[in-house]
Structure 1
Amino acid sequence: MTRNEPIFPAGRHALYETHGYSAAIRSGDLVFVSGQVGSRQDGTPEPDFEKQVQTAFDNLVAVLDAAGCGLEDIVDITTFHTDPERQFETVMAVKSRIFPAAPYPNWTAVGVNWLSGFDFEIKVIARRPTA
């Protein structure tokens, strides 16, 4: 039986410790990444929305890297938005920099009314590549 292995990126930020959760859990060859937000190193929200989205992706990449994965290993993406209609254009601009060409990952976007002071969150499931 495979045991779940917690994953933390180097220099993990304060949110993991403050709220008592793992950045990701590796179970077999799957990596379940907790929602990543655009937090600064101390865990506070990045106030500029586009930078907050970019920082959430940067945090995601750091977690994937710690798990031995990359963006190309993503199987499923779910994003959470506090004001999807107003934020859509900005999120799509960042997304096009992160995923510039097909094949694009599947993606589910959900509008929410609270993200603990943040306006964007991204969680993914990735498959760790085999050697």
Structure 2
Amino acid sequence: MATKTIIVPEGMEFIRDELGYAPAVQVDTRLYIAGQIGRNDQRELVAEKEAQFVQVFENLKRILETAGSGFEDLVEITSYHTDMRDLPLYMEVRNRYMNGCYPAWTAIGAASLCGAPGYFLEVKGIAERV
């Protein structure tokens, strides 16, 4: 039988407690990471586009580290973009964190994210520790 663990980094408890879902769920050696957006620790949207992209990856990093993983363990990521012309900036920021890791990647255009203006990016992923 598989072992399932809810992963909730410090400061992200509101996601579970108020919004009703887990930032990530670990099933044995596989980690399913919910879509991360560019909110900081004060739950505020980071407005500037590059800084927002960085915040998305910082949020992913916190989840990965809480689960005892790292970016090198990502096997798949899906990114959602309100403007597909942002892909070069996205890839630049992503590469700062991936550091030579090459998970499978799908980019999807979205009319809006989080039902509010100003969100440019959301990223979800799957990591596997071997």
Task: Tell me if both proteins adopt one fold, taking TM over 0.5 as the criterion.
Answer: yes
8 Å contact kept, 1:15–1:43: no
State the 1:40 CA deviation.
1.5
> Aligned-residue CA RMSD in angstroms?
1.6
Distance in 1, Cα, partners of 2:28 & 2:37: 25
8 Å contact kept, 1:14–1:43: no
What does residue range 65-104 of structure 1 map to in structure 2 within 5 Å? Answer: 65-85=65-85, 87-101=86-100, 103-104=101-102
- 2:20 aligns with 20
- Tell me if 1:115 matches 2:113: yes
Structure 2: 5+ residue stretches without partners: none
Q: Deviations over 1:28-73 (max 9, x none)?
A: 1100000111102232311011111100000001001111100000
8 Å contact kept, 1:2–1:28: yes
Q: What is the TM-score normalised by the length of structure 1?
A: 0.88
Distance in 1, Cα, partners of 2:14 & 2:40: 9
Structure 1: 5+ residue stretches without partners: none
Identity %: 33
Aligned length: 127
* 1:92 partner amino acid: M
Tell me the SS of whatever aligns to 2:18: helix
- Structure 1 runs of 4+ aligned residues shifted over 4 Å read none
Tell me the SS of whatever aligns to 2:68: coil
